[in-house]
Amino acid sequence: MNEQPAGERVVTATLNPTIDKAFSVEHVIAERKLDCDDVRLYPGGGGVNVARAATRLGIEPVALWSCGGHTGTSLRGLLDREGVRSRPIPVGQSVRENLIVHERACQRHFRFGLPGPHLSEQELDLWLETVRSLDPPPDYLVLSGSLPPGASAPWFAEVVRAAPPGARVIVDTKRDALLAAIEVGVFLIKPNLHELEELTGAELPDRRSIEGAARSLIDRGRVRFVLVSLGRGGALLVTEEGCHSLGAPPVPLKSKVGAGDSMVGGVVTALARGGSILEAARFGVAAGAAAVMREGTEICRREDTERLYQEVH
């Protein structure tokens, strides 16, 4: 793969970004004031994390994200600190905050997600116009994360339609929004097993059923590639030509937060460098594995990802 930065070739869009507040307690006990420590702040939201991962992996994506309130200002500062190029889209209400609590005694993580700002009709229109007028048009547009209040699945389909001609759209979201995007037509989706089951309305207990569900989406002519993330089981890449099972390298598990976004970051980094879809899927699995080695909502590191890539087959 070409190791040169890919410039404006990758744009990510995060409609509902967040600041992730991660901290630790010894025990989580109901109705008791708990003393917390090890407080850390991270930029968050699907596309934001994809851009963070891709930046760490050596390309230069541009992150579009809804920016409002003092938390929006803080999020911009956090992204600047990490060297992520960003283009905030102004909105009237504040960027949300999420809480990630690490219980040391039991090594459990608790995640609390807040709904985010309600986007007005004018703000939704601004998003559509921003995507439609991207200049230069990107080779890859990554739409990742949840929809904010005020944004519907049909509107999300309009975001996909707004992608500039030639842009390959990668989608990582859930339920109705994912289905709406598929109906328009996209380059790649990255559901996990639960999301694929929701999408197809069927339990998928084994590889054959997973492959069949993914292939049914491809056969409809609306999706070119389906990359199903299977956690410690690695991933399944389904294409028109076949199916590839990619085993995840064994790594110490510290946190699953950010693994899926790191996977997408790895995939789009490899694609932007000219890698094949199979090389990109392998690099994505390596990036996801590199992320679970990290504490809190930390994402993958380049040195870990490149080392683990050699172990993904």
For the CA atoms of the chain, what is the radius of gyration?
19
Residues 6+ apart with CB under 8 A from 212: none
- Closest by Cα among 119, 124, 88 to 12: 88
- Closest by Cα among 275, 283, 216, 270 to 243: 216
pTM of the full structure: 0.94
Please report the domains of the chain, with CATH numbers, ordered by start residue: 7-17+44-96+119-309 (3.40.1190.20)
CA 219, CA 239: separation in Å to the nearest integer?
A: 10
Buried b / exposed e over 225-264, threshold 16 CB at 10 Å, is bbbbbbeeebbbbbbeeebbebebbebeebbebbbbbbbb
CB of 84 closer than 8 Å to CB of 52: yes
Q: Is 205 exposed, middle or buried (0-12, 13-18, 19+ CB in 10 A)?
A: exposed
Q: What pLDDT score does 8 carry?
A: 56
Q: What pLDDT score does 4 carry?
A: 46
**Residue among 20, 172, 176, 261 flagged as catalytic:** 261
- Closest by Cα among 238, 227, 225 to 260: 227
Task: Report CA-CA distances (Å) from 36 to 26, 102, 109.
Answer: 8, 10, 14
pLDDT digits (tens, 9 = 90+) for 61-115: 999 999 999 999 999 999 999 999 999 999 999 999 999 998 999 988 898 988 8
What SS3 class is residue 167? Answer: coil
CA 158, CA 155: separation in Å to the nearest integer?
A: 5
Q: What pLDDT score does 7 carry?
A: 46
Task: Give pLDDT < 70 ranges for the chain.
Answer: 1-8, 296
CB of 146 closer than 8 Å to CB of 16: yes
- Decide if 172 is catalytic: no
